[in-house]
Amino acid sequence: MEGKVVHVPVETLREFMYQVFLKCGVPEEDAKICADVLITSDIRGIPSHGINRLKMYYDRIKQGILSPITRFEIVRETQTTAVVDGHHGMGHVIGYRSMKLAIEKAREYGMGAVAARNSSHFGIAGYYALMAAEEGMIGMAFTNARPSVAPTFSVEPMFGTNPIAFACPTDEEFPFCFDAATSITQRGKIEVLARLGKPTPAGWVISCTGELATDTEAILKGIPAGEYALLPLGGAGEEMGGHKGYGLAVMVEILCAALQSGAFLKDLSGFDEEGNLRPHQLGHFFLAIDIGRFVPLEEFRRTAGEILRRLRAAELAPGAERIYTAGEKAHLAAKRAHERGIPINEDLQRDIKFLQEELGLSHFDFPF
Amino acid sequence: MEGKVVHVPVETLREFMYQVFLKCGVPEEDAKICADVLITSDIRGIPSHGINRLKMYYDRIKQGILSPITRFEIVRETQTTAVVDGHHGMGHVIGYRSMKLAIEKAREYGMGAVAARNSSHFGIAGYYALMAAEEGMIGMAFTNARPSVAPTFSVEPMFGTNPIAFACPTDEEFPFCFDAATSITQRGKIEVLARLGKPTPAGWVISCTGELATDTEAILKGIPAGEYALLPLGGAGEEMGGHKGYGLAVMVEILCAALQSGAFLKDLSGFDEEGNLRPHQLGHFFLAIDIGRFVPLEEFRRTAGEILRRLRAAELAPGAERIYTAGEKAHLAAKRAHERGIPINEDLQRDIKFLQEELGLSHFDFPF
């Protein structure tokens, strides 16, 4: 069961997260960025990457594998490109500053791309793509991640959920924003099934013996030991296109690691060879394209908007309620979040209370 | 049954295609490009986009909806970007010259991107991505296409197979090259099943009444009338991530249409409102990224190669023979093609004989 869910106003949670990061030693400006990335995820209806992860960042800072102070070093720079080193600082800050840099370059030269090394978990990739969309640009963001997904014809978790995010402005109330793992699903969704006591749909996960696993509890227990792996978009084998999801994930790995000569695949596990914790050494890749260099921005907005409206007006499948376009559900979720607050389940309530006690933040009067 | 398959040497087929294009009125240099794009597809083991399509181009030129002479007009240009108009000329030539332009820009500024309008079917997207890889760059190529794929929760074919191609150099014998439709499959594969008398796997195609269709003959007959639609990567609904394949396809549509204020979705059908044939008005998007601006090219090659080698060395699924990386099967196919020639099935033999007779090319002494 999901347990008792309480809704908390967006701004209360944002302020709380900001305070938590400050208490962890994150400088003011950076703490604002971290809190904004996380609350944006909750606002957009992606609870897996929002305040739900706050304690994970806290733990990693305490463990010494995540630096609260982010030394953002530009290692190499040309007109349109840069390689930056985040020195194991906050992924959100590294992501934010990298995309800012890409946007500046795109404003001057039409395009900008930044590869980041020695970074850490940066929240939703869509946040950074949206930064460009807000500037009248196309934004793309990619990251590699802890190994959890098996290549086609393998059962070994070799690469991460390696998401692709793409955002652009439209003439509608909200931007187009595609932001998705290149795997069918990610661990967070299986955790939700566990709370609901539900089985995992056959096809999401493969066991080390090659079976499509559905036992949610067993999967969650066995994933860290490599007994189970997530499957790429398209599923096991090639018949339903699993090699395509796999290929997209490798593309993301190459963009995120090879353009900055960084760590990749299993070296992103967060453990060294002796099993000791170490920084995750993630890599990201950010791309900004200045739309106005191609066509007038208003024209682009209109074309993009019209594409989306026509898609939503397509003939419905029998029994289906409506057709969405990417970014639309997030827009609807944001409306709900601002009206009703963010749903906080019992697990998360416990985490929040723990952080309040640990960090002396009891003046936040949460309704739990 | 596949019928009697005959193998013909690569260079014979290349020369034949070159001569066919010349006879159709395509200028020498352009005819070389067209033939090279098509033969590259056959060499790489993608028969659906090679000489198999030669008669389609011939037919379209005859029908007056494809211009053999390609007027390649640069409509707008900045340091890193360009919009070009192909004036309904040969898609291969438009693709080739667009990617050349993107590569030149990337050489000078680090990145280059070109959006093309009023183009036509350009063969495999991977060809253009590989052009950049040969220059030590990352190449990406995208195209929209005739509507055949339904959005998630729809049964109406609204957009094309909208492929994504990504290529980069490695330290191996062959480049990494991902080149795949954002749908699970494409029509060509269903045609192959028809020749073999096999059913279509459930999940590839949805009928207008919302069923997963498997009757291969019925599907091929019903697709032009919109009675069936292909499904996006991830399949029907959202459970297996169908919304992700759909989202990627829309990303491709936006890149290919909105950056050049061109036609999109159902307007790419090749028919006007009265049902008369008209140019397909396809759009493409090409991107080149100069790797040396980020890290030394040799370092990139090594990292990318090492990623691929580690993936291929992952633990095999029980019963699986080996793990591939994108571009590897094409490399193996190319070895076979150069040794044994390209397999030409009976349908294709008929097309070739037809073109020989129509165009006075009987001096090609094919073994059929």
- Cα separation, B141 vs B23, whole angstroms: 29
Place of tokens 């040309």: A78
Give the three-state DSSP class for A137.
strand
What are A361's two structure tokens? 């933040």
- List CB contacts (< 8 A) between A248 and chain B: 164, 178, 248
Distance, in Å, from the CA atom of A351 to the CA atom of A345, rounded to the nearest integer, reads 10
Cβ A193 vs Cβ A200: under 8 Å: yes
- Contact assignment for B258 to A307 by CB distance below 8 Å: yes
Asked if B321 lies within 8 A of A153 by C-beta distance, the reply is yes
Q: Measured between beta carbons, which residues in chain A are less than 8 angstroms from residue B109?
A: 79-80, 109, 111
Q: Has residue B2 got a pLDDT over 70?
A: no
> Using CA atoms in the order A324, A325, A327, A329, what is the torsion angle rounded to 10 degrees?
0
Cβ atoms of B213 and B205 within 8 Å: the answer is yes
Tell the residue number behind the tokens 């037919």, with chain if given. Answer: B59
Between CA B16 and CA A350 the distance in angstroms is 72
Contact (CB<8Å) A314/B79:
no
- B323/A239 touch (CB, cutoff 8 Å), yes or no: no
Q: What is the pLDDT of residue A1?
A: 45
Q: Cα separation of A134 and A123, whole Å?
A: 19
Evaluate the CA torsion angle A287, A85, A125, A240 in order and state its sign.
Answer: positive
| Torsion angle, alpha carbons of B262, A125, A272, A69, to 10 | 130
Instruction: Identify the three-state secondary structure at position B168.
Output: strand
Q: What whole-number distance in Å separates Cα of residue B241 and Cα of residue B256?
A: 23
Which fold would CATH assign to domain B6-184+231-305+326-359? Ribosomal Protein S8; Chain: A, domain 1 (3.30.1370)
Per CB-CB distance under 8 Å, the chain B contacts of A210 are 317-319
Contact A159 B325 (CB under 8 A): no
The answer to whether residue A106 scores a pLDDT higher than 60 is yes
Chain B: closest CA distance from residue A24 (Å):
33
Distance, in Å, from the CA atom of B53 to the CA atom of B38, rounded to the nearest integer, reads: 8
For B97-130, what is each residue's pLDDT tens digit? Answer: 999 999 999 999 999 999 999 999 999 999 999 9
Residue with the larger pLDDT of the pair B182 and A2: B182
Neighbours of A2 (CB within 10 A): 12
CA A168 to chain centre: 17
Which of B156, B240, B241 has its CB closest to that of A315? B156
Spatial distance between the Cα atoms of A177 and A123, rounded to a whole number of angstroms:
15
DSSP characters over A38-49: HHHHHHTT-GGG
Per-residue b or e along B162-192, where b marks 16 or more CB atoms closer than 10 Å to that residue's CB: bbbbbbbbbebebbbbbbbbbbbbbbebbee
How far apart are alpha carbons A53 and A47 in whole angstroms? 9
Residue written as token pair 């860290």: A224
A112 touches A103 (CB < 8 A)? yes
A157-202 per-position pLDDT tens digit: 999 999 999 999 999 999 999 999 999 999 989 988 998 899 999 9
Averaged pLDDT, B52-65: 97
- What pLDDT score does A192 carry? 85
Q: Is the dihedral of CA B209, B210, B215, B220 positive or negative?
A: positive
Burial class (CB in 10 A: 0-12, 13-18, 19+), A143: buried
Mean pLDDT, residues B321-348: 97
Closest CA to A105 of A73, A74, A72: A74
Question: Which residues of chain A does B176 touch, with a Cβ-Cβ cutoff of 8 Å?
Answer: 250, 254
User: At B13, phi and psi to the nearest 5?
Assistant: -70, -40
The pairing of beta strand A342-344 with beta strand B6-8: unpaired
pLDDT band at A267 (very low <50, low <70, confident <90, very high): very high
CA A347/CA A350 separation, integer angstroms = 5
Q: By percentage, how much of chain A surpasses pLDDT 70? A: 99
Structure-token pair, residue A40:
């944006």
DSSP label of A300:
H
Q: Phi, psi at residue B136, to the nearest 5°?
A: 75, 25
pLDDT for residue B1 is more than 50: no
Tell me whether residue A353 is exposed, middle or buried, using C-beta atoms within 10 angstroms of its C-beta: 0 to 12, 13 to 18, 19 or more.
middle
B3 pLDDT above the threshold of 70: no
pLDDT at B224: 85
Average pLDDT, chain A: 97
Structure-block tokens of residue B45: 């083991």
- Phi, psi at residue A227, to the nearest 5°? -75, -15
**Total residues found in chain A within this entry:** 368
What angle (nearest 5°) sits at the alpha carbon of residue B180, between those of residues B206 and B205? 10
The ranges assigned to domains in chain B are 6-184+231-305+326-359, 185-230
B73-106 per-position pLDDT tens digit:
999 999 999 999 999 999 999 999 999 999 999 9
pLDDT per residue over A284-323, tens digit each?
A: 999 999 999 999 999 999 999 999 999 999 999 999 999 9
Q: Is the pLDDT of residue A343 over 50?
A: yes
Distance from CA of A361 to the nearest CA of B (A): 40
Q: Which two tokens stand for residue A274?
A: 């002796």
H or E element, residue B165: strand B164-168
Phi, psi (5° rounding) for residue B42?
Answer: -60, -45
Angle, nearest 10°, between helix axes A54-63 and A10-23? 0
**Cα–Cα distance for residue pair B35/B126, rounded to 1 Å:** 15
CB contact under 8 A, B251 and A178: yes
Amino acid in position B307: I
Q: Which of A208, A233, A314 sits opposite B244 (nearest CB)?
A: A233
